[in-house]
């Protein structure tokens, strides 16, 4: 069988590796909503063996009337989650004016699909030197994505993770179409790690496990997935968020398929858990 080994150059984020044989699992709620919700989600994903905790304090929403995130207060809650679990933080910077605050807590700065071609933002995040997670715009080609990544690299930032999160097609039966072909093609064309976001592609939680397993089988270097202690109460993307109490079982299945491709999830024993 041909090997799935790629020339991906591994990146280290606060002691956690992505690339090569290391599969990175990033998990957490769509948005930081309350202290209780954030700490419960962080605890659940840490216990299940996630490597990093995700959560949006700034939410770029399609409608201006939708929940926009807690902003600065949300960043404070992420800092608490990090102190509680030891998990490094991935959070989005949607506006260059917020970058300094985001850098106070983010171990990885997320650039959302809607901002993939916000070149001023890319250049500033690149110049910050902080690892960046660049999501593919939902109407962007792989060339567009790689050019956007070049803005980060050209500003001197080598620590860039690419993320396929579904694109717009004529299909309307699910939120977006997950472009799995992007995984091996990007890995052919760049040394940057490539991860997949099954949550935003799926739009509903029943599809998240099969899409995650497919991504792992296709050689993705990691997954970023939404997990919430009470998805029915979520202020954002409730239907697609995995339930925190089901997350252990999800990780177990994902680790099995990643192992088939020669990759391992970061060891949970790395995580210093609160008693
Ligand atoms: C997210 O991950 O929180 C998000 C908003 O995703 P995207 O930018 O891919 O829509
Ligand atoms: Mn979301």
CB contact at 8 A, 61 and 106: no
CB of 19 shorter than 6 A to ligand 1: no
Residue 238, token pair as written in the block = 């409730």
- Residues whose CB is under 5 A from ligand 2 (ion)? 30, 237
Per-residue pLDDT of the chain (275 residues; tens, 9 = 90+): 555 567 899 999 999 999 999 999 999 999 999 999 999 999 999 999 999 999 999 999 999 999 999 999 999 999 999 999 999 999 999 999 999 999 999 999 999 999 999 999 999 999 999 999 999 999 999 999 999 999 999 999 999 999 999 999 999 999 999 999 999 999 999 999 999 999 999 999 999 999 999 999 999 999 999 999 999 999 999 999 999 999 999 999 999 999 998 999 865 444 444 43
CB of 175 shorter than 6 A to ligand 1: no
Ligand nearest the Cα of residue 235 is: 2
Lookup result for tokens 């979520």:
234
Ligand 1 atom nearest residue 59's Cα? 5
**Substitution site in 29, 56, 68, 113 for ligand 1 pocket (most atoms within 8 Å of beta carbon):** 113
**Substitution site in 200, 203, 235 for ligand 1 pocket (most atoms within 8 Å of beta carbon):** 200
Ligand 1 atom nearest residue 60's Cα? 5
Rounded CA gap, 62 and 68, in Å?
A: 10
Rounded CA gap, 95 and 102, in Å?
A: 10
């Amino acid at each position: 069988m041909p090997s799935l080994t790629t020339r991906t150059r591994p990146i280290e984020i606060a002691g956690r590796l992505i690339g090569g044989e290391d599969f990175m699992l990033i998990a957490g709620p769509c948005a930081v909503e309350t202290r209780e919700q954030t700490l419960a989600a962080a605890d659940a994903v840490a216990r299940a063996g996630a490597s990093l905790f995700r959560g949006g304090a700034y939410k770029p929403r399609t409608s201006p009337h939708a929940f926009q995130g807690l902003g600065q207060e949300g960043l404070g809650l992420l800092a608490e989650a990090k102190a509680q679990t030891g998990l490094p933080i991935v959070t989005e910077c949607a506006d260059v004016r917020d970058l300094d605050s985001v850098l106070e807590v983010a171990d990885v700065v997320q650039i959302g699909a809607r901002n993939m071609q916000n070149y001023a933002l890319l250049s500033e995040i690149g110049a910050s030197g902080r690892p960046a997670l660049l999501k593919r715009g939902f109407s962007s080609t792989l060339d567009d994505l790689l050019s956007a990544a070049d803005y980060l690299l050209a500003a001197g930032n080598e620590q860039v993770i690419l993320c396929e999160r579904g694109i717009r097609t004529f299909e309307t039966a699910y939120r977006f179409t997950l472009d799995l072909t992007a995984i091996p093609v990007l890995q052919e064309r760049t040394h940057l790690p490539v991860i997949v976001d099954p949550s935003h592609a799926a739009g509903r939680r029943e599809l998240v496990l099969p899409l995650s397993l497919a991504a792992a089988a296709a050689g993705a270097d990691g997954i970023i997935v939404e997990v919430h202690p009470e998805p029915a109460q979520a202020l954002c993307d409730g239907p697609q968020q995995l339930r925190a109490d089901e997350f252990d079982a999800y990780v177990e299945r994902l680790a099995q398929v990643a192992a088939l491709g020669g990759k391992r999830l970061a060891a949970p024993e790395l995580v210093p858990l609160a008693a």
